[in-house]
Amino acid sequence: MPTVVVEIIVVLVKIAVVFGAVALVVAYLTYLERKVIGHMQHRMGPMRVGWHGLLQPIADGLKLFTKEDIIPSQADRWVFFLAPVVSLVPAFIAYAVIPFDRNFYITHLNIGVLYILAVSSLGVYGIVMAGWASNSKYAILGSFRSAAQMFSYEIFLGFSLIGPLMIAGSLDLVKIVDAQSKVWFIVYQPVAFLLFLVAATAETNRVPFDLPEAETELVAGFHTEYSGMKFAFFFMAEYANMVIVGAMASVLFLGGWSGPVLPGVIWFFLKVMAFIFLFIWLRATLPRLRYDQLMYMGWKVMFPIAILNIVGTGLVIYLL
Partner 1 sequence: MLETKELILNMGPQHPSTHGVLRLVLKLEGETIVGTDVVIGYLHRGSEKIAENIPYFEFVPYTDRLDYTAALSSNLGYVMAVEKLSNIRPPERAEYIRVILTEFQRIAAHLVWLGTHAMDLGAMTVFLYCFRERETILDFFEMITGARLTINFFRIGGVPADLPPQFFARAWEFLETFPDRIKEYEALLTRNKIWLKRTKGVAVISAEDAIDLGLTGPSLRGSGVSFDIRRAEPYSVYDRFQFDIPIGEKGDVFDRYMVRVEEMRQSIRIIRQGLEQIPEGDLMTRVPRKLKPPAGAEVYVRIEAPKGELGFYIVSDGGEKPYRLKIRGPSFVNLQSLPLMVQGGLVADVVAAIGSIDVVLGEVDR
Partner 2 sequence: MEPFFFFLFAAGAVISALLVISRRNIMHCALFLVLTFFFVAAIFVLLNAEFLAAVQVLVYAGAIMVLFTFVIFLVHIPRTEKIRRTFGQKNLALALGVFLGLEVAYIVYGAISAPASPAAAPVVQGGNTESFGVALFTRFLFPFEIVSVLLLAAMIGAIVLAKKEIDR
Q: Is 171 in the site for partner 2 (CB under 8 A)?
A: yes
- Considering the complex, what minimum distance in angstroms separates the CB of residue 186 from partner 2? 24
Q: Is 295 in the site for partner 2 (CB under 8 A)?
A: no
Binder of residue 76, out of partner 1, partner 2, none (CB less than 5 to 8 A by kind): partner 2
Q: Is 217 in the site for partner 1 (CB under 8 A)?
A: yes
Contact 199/160 with Cβ under 8 angstroms? yes
Q: Is 280 in the site for partner 2 (CB under 8 A)?
A: no
Binder of residue 121, out of partner 1, partner 2, none (CB less than 5 to 8 A by kind): partner 2
Contact 175/317 with Cβ under 8 angstroms? no
Q: Is 107 in the site for partner 2 (CB under 8 A)?
A: no
Q: Is 101 in the site for partner 1 (CB under 8 A)?
A: no
Q: Is 292 in the site for partner 1 (CB under 8 A)?
A: yes
Return the C-alpha torsion angle 49, 53, 58, 61, nearest 10: 90
Compute how many other C-beta atoms are within 10 angstroms of the C-beta atom of residue 286.
Answer: 13
Binder of residue 166, out of partner 2, partner 1, none (CB less than 5 to 8 A by kind): none
Q: Is 129 in the site for partner 2 (CB under 8 A)?
A: yes
Report cis status (omega within 30 of 0) of the bond before 190: no
Q: Is 296 in the site for partner 2 (CB under 8 A)?
A: no
- Considering the complex, what minimum distance in angstroms separates the CB of residue 137 from partner 1? 7
For residue 279, give every residue at least 6 positions away whose Cβ sits within 8 Å of its Cβ, in sequence order, or none. 201, 204, 206, 242, 246
Residue of the chain from 41, 107, 110, 181 that contacts partner 2 (CB under 8 A): 110
Interface contacts to partner 1, rule CB under 8 A: 37, 40-43, 137, 207-208, 210-211, 214-219, 283-293
